[in-house]
A and B are shown apart, each in its own frame.
Chain A
Amino acid sequence: MYGWCGKIAKINLSDQTWSVETADPEILKKFIGGRGLAGYYLRKKITLNWDDPDMPLLIFTGPLVNTRSPTSGRMTIMSRSPLTGTVGDSSVGGSFGTELKKAGFDGIIITGKSHILAGIEILNDSIRITDARHLAGRETGYVNSLLKGKGSRAVIGPAAENGVVFSSVIVDRYFAAGRSGIGRVSASKNIKYITVKGTGKTKIFNAQDLRKAREDVFRLAAASPVLLGEFGISRFGTGALYDLMDARCMMPTDNFRQTKFSHASFMNAHAFKKRYAPKKSGCRGCHILCKKITKNHTSIPEFETMSHFSALLDNSDIHTVVRANRICNEMGMDTISAAATLACFSEISQKRLSPNEIVSLLLDIGEKRGLGAELGMGAAKYAKRRGRSDLAMAVKGQELPAYDPRGAYGMALAYATSTRGGCHLRAYPVSHEILRKPVATDRFTFKGKARIIKIGEDLNAVADSLTACKFIFFAASLEEYAKIYTAVTGIKTSGQDLFKTGERIYYNERIMNSANGFTEKDDDLPDRFFTSPGYKNTSIDIDPIDRKAFLEARSNYYVVRKLDKKGMPVPDTARKLGLVIS
């Protein structure tokens, strides 16, 4: 088999056993790997509670991983989200995916529950379940250092053990599988860490074709201002977007009460670079290297973190942003959800948080101390408990990232339709609405956006399944990646064939969510975005979104996605996509 290993490790923690399943080549073709393949396996158990021992925790790589395919060193971790109840997944870099392939596995399916806090150690084709009780409550950095000789490490922090529903999994110290609360699922199974080390190679069908296709992608990346340009993410990290979001007046500020941050010019990527002088780093096998790490191993916050721990909390202390990022990573918490939950708390309590309060509240959340226990439920549940659901800026219970939807209507629709709740990455319309790639679209209109969002969702479902980094699609397209896929796997395909696979993967996720009762009521935005304006000056008005236009776009999306009028999947479409609705 080319590209894939053809083997999936199945670990049952309840009886401490493991076995190897041979992957069905037809299923691999239909779902590729990563998010798609994980979704295929999750579907069978999706109506179980997220903490049911039989609910799987799935870790999947794709066929391009451990090859010379550009930006392919990623993987997906998936389960049912404790935060939202939807499909819960996170794509993460580092070298875990590559090591997993080297060890000979396309994925791991973990079920059951360990009777003690445990670790899983994979060394080529051998799997050991270890006693990890001595690591209980320890921060991710400490555990990561301790396990360094064991290959790549995926670790949860105290937050997950203490019940925080937006807990992350930290890979190789710096890379977070942040969204959806996946860390909490791991904690529910009593898994503190997973390590993997392998020595195998992935077989390539046609190395020469791969080299040619690689060159095409590299050429496109070099031509991309946002990737390798003077102010692109390779030089400044994803924080390169910070100035742009503020300049476009769509930087969520003060819990989304404003869309422009008066301190932005002192809190931008340049300011971080100047103060911390970080170096380039990145995922295994990536030439973009968007991760920025200082000499003393401090990770410079990603754009979302940078924005939310400054503008969203009205914080103008740059060091607090770095500290908050470090605490979240050490505790194992999603930075977006953590910051947005604090912003929600700040508005409800009508209290601007000082830098010290930001830091101490984060520690309280991670340690489940005092108010932290309540905030660890996430913004939506916290706000509901306080009788102020209107102040939780979340979709399907997941807190919104750092693009105000009033400043980009495709993003507004994408937030609403995302299968994992408030997420910018499912359709990633920032690409054309803000970054002008592949061409610019009008960010203040819903016209045509239903189909554009659907296409974006399908594209990114493929990217997460191959797996490849979504950033590369600011420059390249599935046209180029189809050539790579064929060169690696030997399976003749085209960009459009891959789009069809992406459609299947996305529809499968809609089916899972509908099985858990999600309807069109959940495909919606907080009221604030329809009633309150953002920034205004003489040259721009960030108006509230016209609800009627939004609802029309959402209806159009259902037509385009071939759902019924309530946003529910229909058997005929499912059948045409090779899926079944039971």
Chain B
Amino acid sequence: MDQIFRIYEDKFLKSGLADQGTPLLGLLDARLSWNRDDKACAVLERLFEHLNINALVFSQPAEPYRSIVDYLAETSGGIIFPGDCESRTFLHDLPVSFSFSLESIILALKERKSVIIPGQGIITYGTVGLEQAYVTFSSVCFACFVKFFSDYLFDITHGKINNIRQNLFDLLVKRLEPTPCFKTSLMKGPFDSEISVYQAIQEAGTLIVKHRLVDSYFGNISFCYNDTLYISQTGSSLDNLQGFIDPCPLDGSSCTAVTASSELPAHLKIVKNTENNAILHGHPRFSVILSMICDIEKCEYRGQCHIKCPHERFVCDIPIVSGEVGSGPYGLCNTVPEAIEGRPGVIVYGHGVFTAGKTDFNRPFKNLIKIENDCRTEYFNRIRSFHRYGRR
């Protein structure tokens, strides 16, 4: 067990989700094991008696998540309702327990995959291992980050920001990581072998994670070579793609890619309908945040923007489209491929960014960074502009 615990302690640290020594990790097979002693174990081990789970994470998130999660939890009234796509699809909502009591935690975890205890941390669980608990923890942090900053921008324009929130915002801005910057280059195409393609995908994946252009390490990457689309597998870590790339023949002659990313339909349509061969999809935060800010008031589709937005929207000249994960009538595979033609990229409402290039990942990677940096700049421009001219 020790080796598994070290792997996940390292993941929490590297992804900036928790500080060194903070995560408390529990795994149950025939016996229950913890990664370290902690007084919380006495309560948490009883969760395994009440819940049909095999893995548990309890941790204070690292800053800036910690302050954000605590603020949202304390002001939530018991449940946080994030608006981003991943939360809407997989988490639904985020229950809060205002005490570290067994009963209250059980009540929340019986219904949902996580529970936030303000001032103390987040508890998540897995039924098939720590990875599941880790993914949920990451998604909670991402959802809260996006919600805090998008709510702030929306509310400031409606005069709803109080001093506590303003002070927290100012503090968080100081704690934000520096804007991603990339000055060298990735492997140059055109590639002349399958091996080069695998290497190029792995290199791009590692850099996307390193530059924090995804939440934790999720997103997807593909490259089309010799009529085969090579694409990262669903739920794979973009910084560890060796052995986790599915070849998908464009003629559909093999279903091996049934384990490919959920966004395979969009990737396929892009390579089939445009001249692009290299596709990146990440979840850079300020792109996601800005995509959720819409000035159109009294829109009949309010609340359904993610699936039915009929308006042509842009941020920093990048189109924002509706679309949900995967296929289906509202799938982003129906909106992204068309919108990306002749553009540096596309932002999917509340979800993330797609970029594409012809011969290698240089252009899409640089565009991914540029879109995020432009969105971040635009976000703070809007805040500044409001401070200068607004009602506060």
Contact = CB atoms under 8 A, between A and B. Distances in A.
A275 B328 CA distance: 26
Interface stretch (A197-205, A344-352, A448-456, A519-527): A448-456
Given A432-B128, A439-B235, A448-B29, A226 B54 contact: no
Given A240-B255, A448-B129, A455-B52, A560 B29 contact: yes
B327 A222 contact: yes
A47 interface: no
Residue with the highest number of chain B CB atoms closer than 10 Å, among A219, A229, A236: A229
Contacts of A559: 30
B326 A229 contact: yes
B330 A241 contact: no
A73 B112 CA distance: 26
B327 A230 contact: yes
Contacts of B53: 455
Contacts of A232: 258
Nearest to A555: B30
A222 B328 contact: yes
Interface in B319-334: 324-328, 330-331
Interface string A441-472: 10000011111100100110000000000000
B37 interface: no
Given A229-B327, A451-B29, A441 B259 contact: no
A220 B92 CA distance: 11
B255 A242 contact: yes
Interface in B221-237: 233-236
Contact of A439 (B50, B54, B135): B135
Contacts of A374: none
A364 interface: no
B259 A223 contact: no
A268 B255 contact: yes
Q: Is the interface of A mostly helix, strand, loop or mixed?
A: helix
A222 B252 CA distance: 19
B254 A270 contact: yes
Interface stretch (A32-40, A290-298, A315-323, A497-505): A497-505
A556 B127 contact: no
Interface string B78-96: 0000000000111010000
Contact of B255 (A223, A270, A503): A270
B17 interface: no
Nearest to B247: A247
A126 interface: no
A500 B259 contact: no
Interface string B242-280: 000000100011111111111011001000000000000
Contacts of B328: 218-219, 221-222, 228
A223 B248 CA distance: 18
A553 B132 CA distance: 21
B265 A230 contact: yes
B299 interface: no
A345 B249 CA distance: 37
A86 to B, nearest CB: 24
Interface string A234-275: 001001111110010000000000000000010011100000
B43 interface: no
Contacts of A495: 110-111
A244 B233 CA distance: 13
B24 interface: no
B214 interface: no
A115 interface: no
B233 A230 contact: no
Given A455-B54, A496-B52, A231 B235 contact: no
Interface string B45-60: 0000011111000000
B109 interface: yes
A224 interface: yes
A225 B129 contact: no
Nearest to A222: B328
A479 interface: yes
A436 B324 contact: no
A40 B112 CA distance: 30
A136 interface: no
B131 interface: yes
Nearest to A242: B255
Given A438-B132, A439-B129, A450-B29, A224 B52 contact: no
B315 interface: no
B248 A479 contact: no
B143 interface: no
Residue with the highest number of chain A CB atoms closer than 10 Å, among B131, B234, B268: B234
A224 B326 contact: yes
Contacts of B268: 230
A448 B54 contact: yes
B113 interface: yes
Nearest to A442: B129
Interface string A427-445: 0000010111111110000
B111 A479 contact: yes
Given A219-B89, A225-B260, A236-B255, A452 B129 contact: yes
Given A270-B253, A496-B109, A223 B89 contact: yes
A494 interface: yes
B284 interface: no
A435 B258 contact: yes
Contacts of A440: 131, 233, 235-236
A455 to B, nearest CB: 5
Contacts of B52: 455, 458, 496, 499-500, 502-503
B126 interface: yes
A68 to B, nearest CB: 17
Contacts of B252: 230-231, 270
A441 B129 CA distance: 7
Contacts of A230: 248, 252, 257, 260, 264-265, 268, 327
Contact of B233 (A219, A220, A436): A436
A496 B260 contact: no
Nearest to B329: A222
A543 interface: no
B30 A560 contact: yes
B326 A494 contact: no
Nearest to B92: A216
A440 B261 CA distance: 13
A432 B260 CA distance: 14
8 contacts: A225-B257, A232-B258, A240-B258, A436-B236, A439-B128, A439-B235, A440-B131, A496-B52
- A-B complex: 7 closest residue pairs judged by Cβ atoms: A222-B328, A556-B30, A494-B110, A499-B52, A223-B325, A223-B326, A231-B255
Interface of A: 216, 218-226, 228-232, 236, 239-244, 247, 265, 268-270, 432, 434-441, 447-452, 455, 458-459, 479, 482, 494-497, 499-500, 502-503, 555-556, 559-560
Given A222-B330, A231-B264, A269-B255, 11 more contacts: A220-B89, A223-B262, A225-B260, A229-B264, A231-B258, A236-B255, A242-B255, A438-B132, A451-B29, A496-B52, A496-B110
